[in-house]
Amino acid sequence: MVKKFVILLLVAGMGLIFFNMFQSFESNGNLSQLGNYYAKNGAAEVGAANLVTAIVVTYRGLDTLGEVSILFLTAAIISFVLKFQSEELDEDREVRASSEVLTSATQVFTPIIMMVGIYIFINGHLTPGGGFQGGAVIASAVVLMFMSNPKFKVNHTIISAVESFSGIGFIVIGIIGILAAGGFLDNRIMSLGTFGTLISAGAIPLIYIFIGLKVGAELSNIIGTLSHAQKEKK
């Protein structure tokens, strides 16, 4: 009884806090000085139709580097904590058989999901989306493959190669931006092209390809590691 009362008290307290925040909220109809600069000059300086991309990948490129690094560290920590001996990974596990519907759906939708993920990060400079979103969509296809076949194993050699290649490519482009343009990840190391077309926004499409591949590989690695940790029995 006391436990339920404490829980109810906590819920009521949180509700009161959020209610007060809602009551006192006032929207800001004006952009800050920095935000106003981005809005007025972002498209012309960066050449990206998606202004969010212009900010995240170029003006705040170091933030993106930090986010990618955090994801890498997360994947490394999970792999370290849940590491297994090789004989444990190779042992046969008894798992529930997947339904025919799920298995058939996986064969149909996995290539489609992969293509959608690639489309999202290649067109990140034109439409909402980008490397992180596209990489997450690709990783969702890996989740679907594990759901249809719990004994499915991720090829960690290929994932490591993709992750290393994309990470190095991302850093190299950033350094070239410092040497040949205005700063880290400056997309003007390549021609801005025609605004609103696929081949535009300088190096942003290439940057997002590297980010999308890296995020997809790291999330897939996490999914594979967690899957190996399962010891499901019939």
- The percentage of the chain sitting over the pLDDT mark of 90, rounded to a whole number, equals 25
Q: How far apart are CA 41 and CA 3, in angstroms?
A: 57
Domain ranges of the chain: 45-72+98-227
Provide the phi-psi class of 191: left if phi over 0, else alpha when psi is between -120 and 50, else beta.
beta
Q: How far apart are CA 171 and CA 148, in angstroms?
A: 36
pLDDT one-digit tens code per residue, 34-53: 888 888 888 888 899 998 88
Tell me the pTM.
0.78
- What is the pLDDT of the chain when averaged over all its residues? 84
151: which residues sit within 8 A by CB, 6+ positions away?
A: 92, 93, 95
Query: How confident is the model at residue 96, as a pLDDT?
Result: 66
Query: How confident is the model at residue 113, as a pLDDT?
Result: 94
Q: How far apart are CA 40 and CA 54, in angstroms?
A: 12
6: which residues sit within 8 A by CB, 6+ positions away?
A: none
Q: Which of 74-83, 115-124, 172-181 has the lowest mean pLDDT?
A: 74-83
Average pLDDT over residues 118-128: 91
Q: How many residues are given for the chain?
A: 234
- The band of 87, judged by pLDDT with boundaries at 50, 70 and 90, is very low
Inform me whether the pLDDT recorded for 80 exceeds 80. no
- The band of 110, judged by pLDDT with boundaries at 50, 70 and 90, is very high
pLDDT one-digit tens code per residue, 157-192: 888 889 889 989 999 999 999 998 888 888 999 999
